[in-house]
Amino acid sequence: MIEVPEGFRSGFACFVGRPNAGKSTLTNALVGTKVAITADQPQTTRRAIRGIVHRPEAQLVIVDTPGLHRPRTLLGERLNDVVRETLSEVDVIGFCLPADEKTGPGDKWIARELASFKAPVIAIVTKTDLVPHAALPVRLTAVAALGDWAEIVPVSAKNGDQVGLLADLIVGRLPEGPPMYPAGDLTDEPQAIMIAELVREAALEGVRDELPHSLAVMVEEITQRESLNGAPPVADVSATIYVERDSQKGIVIGHQGARLKDVGTRSRLGIEVLMGQRVYLDLRVKVAKDWQRDPKQLGRLGF
């Protein structure tokens, strides 16, 4: 039995907001390490990623969700289902709204959606490092007008401003109870999923328009090479990047394969940190026509 201090709190908090509101960056800042990929693209997060914050007096499990949005594809509908299911199960909800953008129809729509859930909602004004200090009160006032929030907290995950305060406020609203994960665990994501996400993050770098929505990655195989003569162990990782059209395949591969090679190089560095060993990464690109709208292909890709 693990001894738990009197009054120890544990529970789940979910970050929600429209796409590219800074949810994943904030999750990583609170956990203290990278558990969710980030990119300057909408629909970067496609799964409910759990990051675990350990404190002497509490254990906070943060669930980073896909951006809540008006769906245009079957994939979009399923991502929204993930968000709503998560919102119904957590103890605290964090509604993320960027400081450098005005309140839009998407924010108002999400605010109305959140009114139907029982968990207290903390409005989190993210990316405060991107606006002048004098402009922040105006944004906070606009956020306050959106709903009846338990708290309103401006933060900068990039600079760490008020991230600790946000954690204090969330933890204070968690129920008392024992920890749910062993000390030292930072996420419960399967290794293959995290590898696929690192590849997708690298593939998203520098792309625009519709391509980010069309990219999916699946890890096909992870094997360990036999170590000979005391050489450091090497893992062979095979992954496939799926796109929806041949023209997109050409963009991902690049001229004479240069871009795919760059994606492999950058993602391999993160995979080696994740696995704690050298990695040989084999990347392939395949076309899965209109996979975002095909139930069978969505299922095969894990959605």
CATH of the domain at 277: 3.30.300.20
Enumerate residues 6+ apart whose C-beta is below 8 A from 137. none
What is d(CA 90, CA 92) in angstroms, rounded to the nearest whole number?
A: 6
**Predicted local confidence at residue 46, as pLDDT:** 54
Can you tell me which residue has the tokens 């529970």? 11
**Predicted local confidence at residue 220, as pLDDT:** 92
Do 207 and 61 reside in the same domain of the chain?
no
How many CB atoms neighbour CB 126 within 10 A? 26
Do 161 and 199 reside in the same domain of the chain?
no
Residue 134 lies in a domain: yes
Do 164 and 293 reside in the same domain of the chain?
no
On whether the CB atoms of residues 180 and 2 are closer than 8 A, the answer is no
Do 101 and 235 reside in the same domain of the chain?
no
**Predicted local confidence at residue 155, as pLDDT:** 96
Do 197 and 290 reside in the same domain of the chain?
yes
**Predicted local confidence at residue 273, as pLDDT:** 85
Enumerate residues 6+ apart whose C-beta is below 8 A from 288. 216, 242, 243, 244, 294, 297, 301
Do 167 and 238 reside in the same domain of the chain?
no
Residue 66 lies in a domain: yes
Domain boundary among 142, 171, 200: 171
> What distances in angstroms separate CA 171 from CA 31, 39, 208, 266, one per listed residue?
13, 28, 38, 36
**Predicted local confidence at residue 70, as pLDDT:** 65
- Structural domain tally of the chain? 2
**Predicted local confidence at residue 38, as pLDDT:** 58
Give the sheet arrangement for strand 9-16, strand by strand. 49-55, 58-64, 9-16, 92-98, 121-126, 151-154
**Predicted local confidence at residue 226, as pLDDT:** 81
Domain boundary among 112, 141, 171: 171
Residue 179 lies in a domain: no
Do 49 and 151 reside in the same domain of the chain?
yes
Do 41 and 71 reside in the same domain of the chain?
yes
CATH of the domain at 38: 3.40.50.300
Q: Which range of residues forms the domain containing residue 161?
A: 9-171
DSSP assignment of the chain equals -----TT-EEEEEEEE-STTSSHHHHHHHHHTS--S---SSTT---S-EEEEEEETTEEEEEEE-PPP---SSHHHHHHHHHHHHHHTT-SEEEEEEETTS---HHHHHHHHHHTT--S-EEEEEE-GGGS-GGGHHHHHHHHHTTS--SEEEE-BTTTTBTHHHHHHHHHTTSPB---SS-TT--B---HHHHHHHHHHHHHHTT--TTHHHH-EEEEEEEEEPPP-TTPPPEEEEEEEEEESSHHHHHHHH-GGGHHHHHHHHHHHHHHHHHHTSEEEEEEEEEE-TTGGG-HHHHHHTT-
Residue 92 lies in a domain: yes
Residue 259 lies in a domain: yes
pLDDT per residue of the chain (303 residues) written in tens, 0 to 9? 567 788 999 999 988 888 788 888 898 899 887 776 555 544 555 566 788 999 999 999 988 776 665 666 777 777 777 777 777 788 999 999 999 999 998 899 889 989 888 999 999 999 999 999 999 999 999 999 999 999 999 999 999 999 999 999 999 999 999 998 888 888 777 788 888 888 988 888 866 655 667 888 888 999 998 877 777 889 999 999 999 888 889 888 988 999 999 999 999 998 998 888 899 999 999 999 988 888 888 778 776
Do 200 and 165 reside in the same domain of the chain?
no
Do 222 and 144 reside in the same domain of the chain?
no
Is pTM beyond 0.85 here? no
Do 118 and 229 reside in the same domain of the chain?
no
**Predicted local confidence at residue 231, as pLDDT:** 76
Domain boundary among 171, 204, 236: 171
- Which residue, 52, 59, 109, is CA-closest to 83? 109
Residue 112 lies in a domain: yes
Task: Write out the two tokens for 274.
Answer: 């994740």
Largest pairwise CA distance in the chain: 67
**Predicted local confidence at residue 65, as pLDDT:** 74
Residue 177 lies in a domain: no
Residue 3 lies in a domain: no
Do 140 and 273 reside in the same domain of the chain?
no
